[in-house]
Amino acid sequence: MSECIPCAPGTYQNETKSTECELCEKGTFSNETGATMYCALCPAGKYADEDGSIECTECPKGRFMDEPAAEECFACVPGTFSSSTGSDKCTDCAPGKHSNSTSSVECTDCPADTFQNNAGSAVCNSCAQGKSEAGSTECSVSQPSDSTLTAAIIVGSLLLLLVCGFYYFKRRRSSGSRWVSYNGVACTNVPYKHAYPK
């Protein structure tokens, strides 16, 4: 009387008087010899893409699987990433970062003069006004320097004096002085004889 042969790893047989063993289906595995039960399911984060698997394979970086018995892993969508193998989910990019492609293993800082204040973003927004450093969550409006402000005040004062002195002026006598004004606003109060020579 011949002996029965145990089923090899990757196969099973749960019936008697069988002439052959059944292969584990895709998404399942068996690492036992002589398995009499159905093959085990691959856990989340792993997959088996061939029949007769003796073990499941971890999802590579940039991909994930959140359900058991998977035959393949899904790619992380733009705005997310997975930096480790065997992931059961992808992680959102942090504010100030983005990922504009699938299967990303990391997120990239937003370039200078762009920003992103939301998590899980595929793109960065351009600064309409102001500037920003790489990886910023907002744009900053540039403030003028002290020297710029001083120059602006000097130029403005000179323009006002020119307007007061040459355009649309009126005068009136008051205690020997003459007021020079522009649009009703006094510019200066000078002695009459110096303001307008006779």
Q: What is the pLDDT of residues 78-96, one digit of tens each?
A: 999 999 999 999 999 999 9
Q: How confident is the model at residue 195 (pLDDT cuts 50, 70, 90)?
A: very low
DSSP per-residue codes, 74-87: EEPPTTEE--SSS-
Q: Please list, residue by residue across 120-141, b when 16 or more beta carbons sit within 10 angstroms of its beta carbon and e when fewer do.
A: bbbebbebeeeebeebbeebee
44-68 mean pLDDT: 98
The answer on pLDDT for 6 being more than 50 is: yes
Q: Beta strand pairing status for 114-115 and 125-126?
A: antiparallel
CATH number for the domain whose boundaries are 1-57 = 2.10.50.10
118-134 mean pLDDT: 94
φ and ψ at residue 100, rounded to 5 degrees: -100, 15
> What does pTM read for this prediction?
0.67
Distance in angstroms (rounded) separating the CA atoms of residues 13 and 168: 108
- The CATH superfamily label for domain 59-139 reads Tumor Necrosis Factor Receptor, subunit A, domain 2 (2.10.50.10)
Residues of the chain with CATH 2.10.50.10: 1-57, 59-139
